[in-house]
Amino acid sequence: SSEVLEAIENVIQDVFQSLAQKKAPVLTVANRTDWRNIEYKDSVGLQMIPACTTKQIRSDCPQSARRFALMLKILSMIYKMVQSNTYATKRDIYYSATLLFGSQSVVDQIINDISCMLKIPRRSLHVLATTKGFVAGNLSYMEEDGTKVNCTCSATAVTVPSNVQGIKNLTSHARFILIVEKDATFQRLLDDDFFNKVSPCIMITGRGVPDLNTRLLVRKLWDSFQIPIFTLMDADPHGVEIMCVYKYGSVSMSFEAHHLTVPSVKWLGLLPSDLERLNICKDVLIPFTKQDENKLASIQKRPYIACQPLWKKELEIMAASKMKAEIQVLTSLSSDYLSRVYLPNKLQFGGWL
């Protein structure tokens, strides 16, 4: 915490110095969303290059003066929380001054900018993200406040903890971890008691694009147990994009890649090649939109796809067919095909990429 306080003090000191010299104070932030600032590293995924381009948030410029003020406001809130060892969610920060901030997304972006500017992980700033992910299966752990959580005996899923860093005493006999893209598929597998039937496993869903806590938990489980991690996604560009976030990270959070990515993640399904192999009826497939075509084309150009020839091939199959499929298409074969046939066979015979 002293490191965080010192980092904030240094920023404020620079502001004071500029004012003393009758200069307009400026905050310098890395360009987090620029692909030119990102490099792909096999062991880490997407990470920010040391000499990245920056942008200035000036206090004397009409376009950025408001953002400058909001950054100082949030820095002061973080400073007080670190001093008093209290925490707040991003939502709490927004609701502390809704008229001032204008929207939740403004708060989210500023907090990420501050984290990147100070080179300090967001959780060390005492700002917690609201969790939307779920975890179930062969796992138990203790939360920071001493609460024991047992995901094994629960018929319902457990919410991913909001302070993943603080959990300890993780124990599991799981043979693998299964990341499920969608909540509906996750709940279906839970109802089918999948994590007990095949072999003990841990199931996680970020319910779409994963939030930070879900990604942190996947990374923590990997660090703790070093067991295979498989993904179960829709066979569409959006599903591939989500899988890439878990495996390689996202451009906007590349400055924190070391804590968030798990390069060992494997693509278990739904593979575009599975659709033909399983003779899935064309009627249950969905034609591509222009947006799907653009997203797929942009994914195919990414640096990490060149290192994954088998993934590349699957994306080419998807691009050629111009059709996408949700995991639910497997119910056209039988209602429990996913948990009874598809996943057990894939896991037994190594049907992942």
Report which of 224, 225, 231 is spatially closest to residue 182, judged by C-alpha positions: 231
Which entry of 87, 95, 141, 337 is annotated as an active-site residue? 95
CB 270 within 8 A of CB 232: yes
Q: Output b/e per residue, 131-145; b: 16+ Cβ within 10 A.
A: bbbbbbbbbebebee
User: In this predicted structure, what is the pLDDT of residue 257?
Assistant: 67
- Measured between alpha carbons, how far is 27 from 33 in angstroms, rounded to an integer? 17
- Measured between alpha carbons, how far is 280 from 342 in angstroms, rounded to an integer? 13
- Measured between alpha carbons, how far is 25 from 35 in angstroms, rounded to an integer? 28
User: In this predicted structure, what is the pLDDT of residue 255?
Assistant: 67
User: In this predicted structure, what is the pLDDT of residue 30?
Assistant: 79
User: In this predicted structure, what is the pLDDT of residue 124?
Assistant: 83
User: In this predicted structure, what is the pLDDT of residue 112?
Assistant: 86
Distances in whole angstroms, Cα of residue 19 to Cα of each of 14, 67, 84, 86, 328: 9, 18, 29, 31, 61
62-105 pLDDT per residue, tens = 888 888 999 999 999 999 999 998 888 888 889 888 888 988 88
CB 131 within 8 A of CB 90: no
- Measured between alpha carbons, how far is 61 from 55 in angstroms, rounded to an integer? 13
- Measured between alpha carbons, how far is 64 from 70 in angstroms, rounded to an integer? 10
Is it true that the peptide bond before 221 is cis, omega within 30 degrees of 0? no
Residue 95 bears catalytic tag: yes
Residue 56 identity (one-letter amino acid): Q
β-bridge mates for residue 39, sequence order: 47
User: In this predicted structure, what is the pLDDT of residue 196?
Assistant: 78
Helical axes 65-84 vs 2-20, angle rounded to 10° = 140
pTM of the model: 0.78
- Measured between alpha carbons, how far is 55 from 125 in angstroms, rounded to an integer? 22
Q: Which residues contact 284 (CB under 8 A, 6 or more apart)?
A: 325, 329, 332
Residue 282 identity (one-letter amino acid): K
Report which of 266, 162, 187, 260 is spatially closest to residue 220, judged by C-alpha positions: 260
The DSSP line for 232-300 is E--BSHHHHHHHHHHHH--STTGGGHHHH--TT-EEEE--HHHHHHTT--GGGSEEPPHHHHHHHHHHH
For the chain, domains (ranges, CATH) are 2-128 (1.10.10.10), 134-349 (3.40.1360.10)
Give the 3-state secondary structure percentages of the chain, helix then strand then coil, rounded to 5. 50, 20, 35
pLDDT along the chain (353 residues), means of 10: 88 91 86 73 75 79 88 92 87 88 89 86 80 89 87 79 86 92 89 81 91 90 93 93 89 71 89 89 87 90 86 92 88 85 88 87
